[in-house]
Amino acid sequence: MANNKKGRKYSSLVVDGNEKAAARAMLHAVGFTEADFKKSQVGIASTWSNLTPCNMHINELADAAGLGADEAGGKAVTFNTITVSDGISMGSPGMRYSLVSREVIADSIETVVCAEGFDGFVAIGGCDKNMPGCAMAMARINRPSVFVYGGTIQPGKNRRDVVSVFEAVGQHAAGKISDIELKEVESTAIPGPGSCGGMYTANTMASAIEALGLSLPNSSAQEAISDNKRADSYAAGAAVLELINKDIKPSDILSINSFENAITTVIALEGSTNAVLHLLAIAQAANIPLTIDDFDRIGKNVPVLADMRPAGQYAMSELINIGGIQPLMKSLLEEGFLHGDCLTVTGKTLGENLEHVKPYPIGQKVIRPFDNPIKKDSHLVVLRGNIAPEGAVAKITGHEGLRFEGNAKCFHGEEAALKAILEGDVVAGDIVVVRYEGPKGGPGMREMLSPTSAINGRGLSQSVALVTDGRFSGGSHGFVIGHISPEAYEGGPLALLEDGDQITIDAESKTIDVDLTQAELDSRKKSWSKPQPYAKKGLLAKYAKLVSSASLGAVTDL
Burial 495-517 (b: 16+ CB within 10 A, else e): bbbeeebebbbbbeebbbbbebe
Separation CA 114–CA 138 (nearest Å): 11
The SS3 assignment for 547 reads coil
Closest by CA to 263, choosing from 219, 215, 302, 321, is: 302
Separation CA 434–CA 429 (nearest Å): 16
Residue type for position 211:
A
Closest by CA to 444, choosing from 135, 202, 166, 86, is: 86
The answer to whether 207 is a known catalytic residue is: no
The number of CA neighbours under 13 Å toward the Cβ of 363 is 0
The SS3 assignment for 456 reads helix
Q: Are strands 502-506 and 479-485 parallel, antiparallel or unpaired?
A: unpaired
Closest by CA to 473, choosing from 182, 87, 148, is: 87
CA Rg value for the chain = 23
Q: Are 418 and 425 in contact (CB under 8 A)?
A: no
The SS3 assignment for 125 reads strand
Question: Which of 207, 233, 461, 473 is the catalytic position?
Answer: 473
Angle between helices 274-285 and 256-268 (to 10 degrees): 170
DSSP string, 181-206: HHHHHHHHS--SSSB-SSSSHHHHHH
Active site residues: 473
